[in-house]
Amino acid sequence: MLTSRLPPIPLHSRVVFKLNAMSDDIVEIRQQYDAYDDPAPLCGINTTANAGRRCTLELTVPRDMDPPVLVHYEISGFYQNQRRYVTSRDDAQLLGATTQTQLALDNCRPLATLSNETTTVTLNPCGLVANTLFNDVFALSTDPGMIAADADGVPLAMIEEGIAWQSDIEFKFRQPDGFRQEQCGSCGDANCTCAAENWSCTDPYQDQDGNCFLYYYPNDDTTQYLYETYPMVVSPLDGVLNEHFIVWMRTAALPTFRKLYGWFDQPIAAGTKLTFEVEANWEVASFRGFKALVVSNNNAFGGKNEALGRHFLIVGVMCLGFAAFFWLKHTFRRRNLADQNYLHFKEE
């Protein structure tokens, strides 16, 4: 009986096929919800910043997804890599300094202070990067009938911690010098009041667990802090240590980029409907951009990237081409070691 044997697949081709297969294994669900050229966006706010429009996005998982399952927001047309934008920040201020050098003030202009006819307020943090924070809010729906569960039937919970680089949290950001906080009793307790001990708060802050806190920010009467600029995203207890803010402050290299918003540490079965409640505040129409919500998993090479295998092959072919060129050069135009013809002596 005649048999045939196919030639073995070259190593570089097997690597390319493997990379493509790994990319195909990644599940990615993307839903655009606002764009400058979309006549009927799902959650459009046109050019109205801080609109607070509420809407719902529903995403259906096509295949089983193993944790971690990542939730990103995607923005296009926004140039965080522009030189003036990148340098518009005060790193000393982000590390807690309450005074600024003239150079830092110049870098932050025009968003170093806010002025009107009677008062001037200092922005802390100042600059273009900090004061263009992406402030749309995403949360899984808690409405009956829309609560998503994992593959084991446990309700899904989106985690919004652990999304920033640990080095950024530890070494680049700190609450202003003099900041302090203190947990008190219930918010209705007569002893839990901002009037005591010169706290700067107007009312005690209540967190998601119902705990009440008093807090103090220095120079609060002449300074607008981050929690006052973006109360929908940043709490007064977190301030510049808010991880959504820290993620935003690591500027993107390209005008289309994704930033991590949260993640799931639970497996999600195929067919699961993820319903997100969105509060739209960040407008994209003024710079002709769009924004989208992306849910995906990843692998050792990152997210879904169908071009990685092709680029790997192209670079491999280029390396082979250069290797062949230098081999030919070395074979036919060899440069002999210790050849005195290549030495040039200084004339006497």
What's the pLDDT tens digit per position in 103-142? 999 999 999 999 887 889 999 999 999 999 999 999 999 8
The whole-number pLDDT of residue 218 equals 94
Phi and psi at residue 134, in whole multiples of 5°? -65, 115
Rounded to whole angstroms, the Cα distance separating 246 from 15 reads 36
3-state secondary structure at position 320? helix
The answer to whether residues 259 and 293 touch, using CB atoms and an 8 Å cutoff, is no
How many C-beta neighbours within 10 Å does residue 302 have?
Answer: 10
Rounded to whole angstroms, the Cα distance separating 65 from 5 reads 38
Beta strands 212-216 and 180-184 are antiparallel
How many C-beta neighbours within 10 Å does residue 82 have?
Answer: 13
How many C-beta neighbours within 10 Å does residue 169 have?
Answer: 14
The whole-number pLDDT of residue 299 equals 73
- Residue-wise pLDDT for 210-253, tens only, equals 899 999 999 999 999 999 999 999 999 999 999 999 999 999 99
Cis previous bond, 125, omega within 30: yes
| Strand ranges across the sheet with 223-225 | 113-115, 120-124, 223-225
CA angle 143, 275, 135 (to 5 degrees): 100
The whole-number pLDDT of residue 6 equals 46
Spatial neighbors of 296 by CB under 8 A, at least 6 apart, are 26, 27, 28, 29, 69, 70, 72, 303, 304
Phi and psi at residue 51, in whole multiples of 5°? -70, -30
- The tokens describing 313, both together, are 């092959």
- The tokens describing 174, both together, are 């700190």
Rounded to whole angstroms, the Cα distance separating 268 from 270 reads 7
Could you tell me the pLDDT band of residue 313, with boundaries at 50, 70 and 90?
Answer: confident
With a cut of 60, say whether residue 11 has pLDDT above it.
no
With a cut of 90, say whether residue 25 has pLDDT above it.
no
The answer to whether residues 275 and 156 touch, using CB atoms and an 8 Å cutoff, is no
The whole-number pLDDT of residue 337 equals 74
Residue pointed to by tokens 């493997």:
18
The whole-number pLDDT of residue 234 equals 97
How many C-beta neighbours within 10 Å does residue 308 have?
Answer: 16
Could you tell me the pLDDT band of residue 345, with boundaries at 50, 70 and 90?
Answer: low
The whole-number pLDDT of residue 14 equals 59
Rounded to whole angstroms, the Cα distance separating 314 from 310 reads 6
The answer to whether residues 110 and 85 touch, using CB atoms and an 8 Å cutoff, is no
Rounded to whole angstroms, the Cα distance separating 335 from 333 reads 6
